[in-house]
Chains A and B, each alone.
Chain A
Amino acid sequence: MSNQSNYLALNNLYKYFDKITAVNNISIDIEQGELISFIGPSGCGKTTLLRIIGGFHKQDEGTINLDGQQIDHLPPEERSTGMVFQNYALFPHMSVFKNVEYGLKVEKVKKEERNRRIKDALAQVQLEGYEDRKPSELSGGQQQRVAIARCLVLQPKVLLLDEPLSNLDANLRMIMREEIRRLKEELNLTIIFVTHDQEEALSISDRVIVLKDGKIQQLDRPDNVYNQPQNEFVANFVGHTNILEGQFEDHDNKTLFKTEHFSFEVQSKFSNSSKNGKAVVRPERISIMPNGDVEGKISKIVYNGSFTRYFVLISGEEIMVDDFNAHGLGHYKRNDPIKLAFPTDPHFINEN
């Protein structure tokens, strides 16, 4: 299967609301069969961008191409995009079958083919046998599946999901994530997934776009967004992190990264570019070790089940350290003196 790399292309999109620029010069090329997430805090423009792609908002500038065809001037009903709404927007007066049939009837698909395709779509979302139910007789997860089937049955070129899992409980959310992934793989679906839950985005996506104030902050694979955030905003928004400001200093053959209160050794290649830097050190990358270089004292302990988060004071500066609870409960207490080993290859951000 040869997948086009600019199957869905957003080119220099802008959208203004009164004085706010909700979408600010956004250009993205999305590959066929790719699942890409828009994440960001509320008001960052992720839903607006999604609605522009679906045709529910008109962009003020820029173009959208889908599968080689320009679509930005078309109304929603003429775009081959399928939207799953946050509240599912199932037609409450129609049965599951009628809901899924709706778009096919619009397309004037013949009765036999309609029935076959509805059967397939419901099978894909594992809802066989629910044809005659009304939406109000379904659970949240089932409503979600109907909403997806209603789109899938029309074989859309791109599936737009607007915070689809936010109304589900935690366990169901996990299951539906897997389901969406499975459908994507099976049907080679191109999916845009809007969420404010960064963990969800990391786990489900091929690529993640972090948005803030209508601008792209970073567009990359989930592991890169997590490990190599472009800026402080991304670092803080995606996961938890320590951000340490300091200078690089060369001693003998070693390079030290020196903050106000302590220093640790880093691989020399990082010091070449500039004298100052900000190090993004994720809490799980710092280890508590008897032979660690940095001494500190535990000021606070937060037990999290699989790991314990220690807040460690190092001469006045507080650092988060995660310790994996491989043997049950962590073995440190408040005010225990400990030694920390910092990673020698932290990610440095250059912000101007």
Chain B
Amino acid sequence: MSTKASTQTKTSKMISDFRNFWSEPWFAILTLVLAGAILLFIVVPVFAVLFKSFGIGSGEVTLEYYQNFFARSYYFESLVNSVSAAILSTLIVVFLSVCISLYVTRTTSFLSKFYRGAALLPLVAPPFIFSLSLIILFGRNGLFTQVMNSAFGWEFSIYGFSGVVIAQVLGYFPIGYMLVESTMRNMNPSLEHASSDLGAKQGRTLRKITLPLSQSGIVKAGLLVFVMALADFSNPLIIGGGEPFLASEAYLLVVGQQNLEQAAVLGVFLIVPSLLVFIFQTYFLKDTGLETISGESGASNVPLSPKVKAIVMTINTIFVSFIVLMFVMVVLGAFVRIIGIDNTFTLEHFTNRSGWDSLYISIVVSFLAAILAATIGMLQGYLFARKTIPGKKVLEFLTLFGLAVPGTVMGIGYVLIFNGPPFFLTGTVLLIVLNMTFRKIGVGLEASISKMHQIDTSMEEASSDLGAGPYRTFGKVVVPLLSPAFVAGFVYTFMTAMVSISSVIFLIAPGTNLAAVYILNLAEQARVGMASAMSFILILIVLSCMGLLKWIEKKTGVNI
């Protein structure tokens, strides 16, 4: 009886949901178009890779390529390398994040601003820049290598596993650090005060109170860094010294041997961990609410004891100096003829015609992708936050999933799908734009949804109460209120698109070379001067984007 009744209410609920959905037909159509696009540009490519790995589409269903994977130690080694490098990088990033966060959130000196600034510096750089500066310093002709060689006859090479790990630590550090810092900053300071009031020394307070309560942030940071490091494509290619890693090996299989099936298998091994982490984060790592049982009236964090301070400062200073050194190297490399060999000042690296061409294309493509991603994010955010949409949860999941899919997998998927009818887009700029857009729309969506939750529905109700229809309300009330989310989505997508590589590298054609890919090629060939010069320009562009964002924030008084 009761189950029958509940099915009945369920059915009638569904019917009324559908009625609501169609009551504003334009929004409904828009939703359907969005859903279609998300399926085509996020979901289908991933499934294409999965199917391809079983040989579907190019012959009969087979496990041959998986057998190959485990039989050919070379492929399997790429899994071992990728996973162990990612684990190592993650542990190091988390440890250093805790050290710097401790100092930054618990002291107010000039040094804490310096640490923070330097720790976030890698954000403005293309992700492979550290490989480049590591080569400048420790490569075969590296500055440090030469000194060591002539002084002690000590020969060593940064190429290989250790180089990849160092480059990953530096490149992915800010992402992990920001998460750890924010949990450690938002912790209720009276908990630490209470611990010291109860007689605990700082070491115990750290172990028993601070770290356990920062757990969720630390775990989140670790998972994020792990997934990114696992999918790392450019560092292994530049500094891996021929050691196989999943993403770079998949790329070489596609480009060098046209072996899409085998590449797809590697792609599956890339995507499974990312998917697991994504699901874990979405469904299991909800905020425990431990940190903030209740607010506190203006008390500040417990200052660090001299002992802890000394330890943390030593570690921080070494690490942060290393980051700064990396940037200095790139700048030097850009402005001297051949760094370490011929150190005369020159601007010749900046006069590279094809470099500027690729930069121009990068800017155009990134701009288009950013506009598209921000617009979609805004529309989708509004629809998702305010409208009854059947299957909304699934769509939201899939959109955010786009962020979690490793670029290499997405790239291979695009190659598989758009290389023939019905969507023959390979080699076009449009495909590159779409790829950049749909990999990043999750960011705009999240920004818009959180903004929408801050906006009281009464504003839209007031608008319709005053006689405006739903579309006018959207245009005149919602869009202006969402503009900060739009700007955030735009700037973020533009900055990441400018330096993105792992996915678009599959999609470029002669004449549509992108700056990031171009630099990667230069770095692979150890053409350090030109690579540094181009990286330097990219850094300047990203920096000016951030400056622009700050300027807009200041001008409008809106926090973006």
CB <8 Å contact, A83 and B188: no
Cα A136 to Cα B190 in complex, Å, equals 16
Contact A56 B299 (CB under 8 A): yes
Interchain CB contact (< 8 A) of B293 among A47, A54, A87: A87
Q: Could you say which of B193, B213, B290 contacts A85, with CB atoms under 8 Å apart?
A: B193
Q: Mark A62-98, 1 if CB is under 8 A from B, else 0.
A: 0000000000000111100111011111111100000
Interface presence of A167 (CB below 8 A): yes
The winner among B193, B195, B198 for most chain A CB atoms within 10 A is B198
Interface residues of B in 166-212 (CB under 8 A from A): 188, 190-191, 193-201, 204, 208-209, 212
CB distance from B388 to the nearest CB of A (A): 33
Q: How far is the CA of A77 from the CA of B195 in the complex (A)?
A: 8
**Nearest chain A CB to B143 CB, angstrom units:** 46
Cβ contact of B193, chosen from A56, A135, A150, A154, cutoff 8 A: A56
Cβ contacts A to B, 25 pairs, < 8 Å: A54-B197, A76-B196, A77-B196, A77-B200, A77-B201, A82-B197, A82-B198, A83-B193, A86-B190, A87-B294, A87-B295, A88-B293, A88-B294, A89-B188, A89-B194, A90-B194, A91-B209, A92-B213, A92-B290, A93-B213, A102-B200, A106-B204, A107-B199, A135-B293, A154-B198
- Give the Cβ gap from B295 to chain A, nearest Cβ, in Å: 7
Say yes or no: B293 contacts A106, CB within 8 Å. Answer: no
What chain A residues lie within 8 Å of B351 (beta carbons)? none
Is there an interface contact between A85 and B190, defined as CB atoms closer than 8 Å?
yes
* A78→B290 CA distance, assembly (Å): 28
How many residues of A are in contact with the other chain, CB < 8 A?
31
State whether B199 touches A47 (Cβ < 8 A).
no
- With both beta carbons as reference points, the residue of chain B lying nearest to A87 in the complex is identified as B294
* Residue of chain B at shortest CB distance from A54: B197
A343 on interface, CB distance cutoff 8 Å: no
Residues of B within 8 A of A103 (CB): 198-200
Docked CA distance A151–B195 (Å): 11
> Which are the 7 A-B pairs with shortest beta-carbon distances?
A103-B198, A89-B190, A89-B194, A87-B294, A106-B199, A76-B196, A92-B290
Interface size on B, residues (CB 8 A): 27
Q: Which of A90, A93, A151, A154 has the most CB of B within 10 A?
A: A93
| Per-residue interface assignment for chain B, residues 31 to 60, with 1 indicating a CB less than 8 Å from any chain A CB and 0 otherwise | 000000000000000000000000000000
B296 located at the interface, meaning its Cβ lies under 8 Å from any Cβ of chain A in the complex:
yes
**B454 contacts partner chain A, Cβ-Cβ < 8 Å:** no
Complex alpha-carbon distance, A86 and B294, angstroms:
10
Q: A87-B295, A136-B293 are in contact. Are A102 and B208 (CB under 8 A)?
A: yes
Asked if A47 and B201 sit within 8 Å, CB to CB, the answer is: no
State how many angstroms separate the Cβ of B184 from the closest Cβ of chain A. 15
Residue pair A167, B200 in contact (C-beta under 8 Å): no
Q: Is B297 an interface residue (CB 8 A)?
A: yes
| Complex: A230 Cα to B300 Cα, angstroms | 35
Binary CB contact string for chain B from 300 to 323 against chain A (1 if under 8 A, 0 otherwise): 000001000000000000000000
Q: In whole Å, how far is A83's beta carbon from the nearest beta carbon of chain B?
A: 5
Q: Which of B267-312 contact A (CB under 8 A)?
A: 289-291, 293-297, 299, 305
Q: Residues of B at under 8 Å CB distance from A?
A: 188, 190-191, 193-201, 204, 208-209, 212-213, 289-291, 293-297, 299, 305
Find chain A residues with CB under 8 A from B296 CB.
85-87
Please, which residue of chain A has its CB at the minimum distance from the CB of B292? A92
Q: Are B193 and A47 in contact (CB under 8 A)?
A: no
Residues of A within 8 A of B193 (CB): 54, 56, 76, 83, 85, 89
Chain A residue with Cβ nearest B296: A87
The contact of A76 among B197, B208, B297, B299, by CB within 8 Å, is: B197
Which A residues are in CB contact (< 8 Å) with B204? 106
B213 near A83: Cβ-Cβ < 8 Å: no
Are B297 and A86 in contact (CB-based, < 8 A)? yes
CA–CA, A78 and B305, complex, Å: 13
Whole-angstrom distance between the Cβ of A149 and the nearest chain B Cβ = 12
Look across to chain B and name the residue whose beta carbon is closest to the beta carbon of A150: B198
CA distance A75 to B305 in the complex (A): 10
User: Which residue of chain B is the closest to A79 with respect to CB atoms?
Assistant: B197
A90 (CB) vs chain B CBs: closest residue: B293
> Which B residues are CB-close (under 8 A) to A81?
197
- Give the Cβ gap from A226 to chain B, nearest Cβ, in Å: 27
Which B-chain residue is minimally distant from A135 (CB atoms)? Answer: B293
CA distance A103 to B196 in the complex (A): 9
Q: Give the residue among A54, A78, A89, A91 with the most B Cβ atoms within 10 A.
A: A89
Given contacts A86-B297, A87-B190, A91-B209, contact A77 B197 (CB under 8 A): yes
In the bound complex, residues from chain B placing their C-beta under 8 Å from that of A107 are: 199
Inter-chain contact B199/A154, CB cutoff 8 Å: yes
CA distance A91 to B297 in the complex (A): 17
Cα distance, A102 to B207, chains bound together (Å): 13
| Contact A83–B194 (Cβ < 8 Å) | yes
Give the docked Cα–Cα distance between A58 and B188 (Å).
20
With A76-B196, A107-B199 known to touch, is A167 a contact of B294 (CB < 8 Å)?
yes
- Shortest A134–chain B CB gap in Å is 10
For residue A302, give the distance in angstroms from its CB to the closest CB of chain B.
32
Asked if A87 contacts B197 (CB within 8 A), the reply is no
Chain B neighbourhood of A135, CB < 8 A:
293
Known: A92-B293, A93-B213, A136-B293. A106 touches B200 (CB 8 A): yes
**How distant is the Cα of A87 from the Cα of B305 in the complex, in angstroms?**
25
A76 vs B194: C-alpha distance when bound (angstroms): 9
Q: Is the CB of B198 within 8 A of A102?
A: yes
| CB-defined contacts of B213 to chain A, threshold 8 Å | 91-93
> With contacts A87-B295, A89-B191, A92-B293 known, what are 13 further pairs, Cβ within 8 A?
A51-B299, A56-B193, A75-B196, A86-B296, A88-B294, A89-B190, A90-B194, A91-B213, A92-B191, A92-B290, A93-B212, A106-B201, A151-B197
Chain A residues contacting B199 (CB-CB under 8 Å) are 77-78, 103, 106-107, 154
- Residues from chain A with a CB closer than 8 A to the CB of B197 are 54-56, 76-77, 81-83, 151
Chain A 230-245: CB-based contact to B (< 8 A → 1; otherwise 0): 0000000000000000
Identity of the chain B residue whose Cβ is nearest the Cβ of A81 in the assembled complex: B197
Q: Which residue on chain A has the smallest CB distance to residue B189?
A: A89
A160 CB to nearest B CB, Å: 8
A91 x B201 contact (CB < 8 A): no
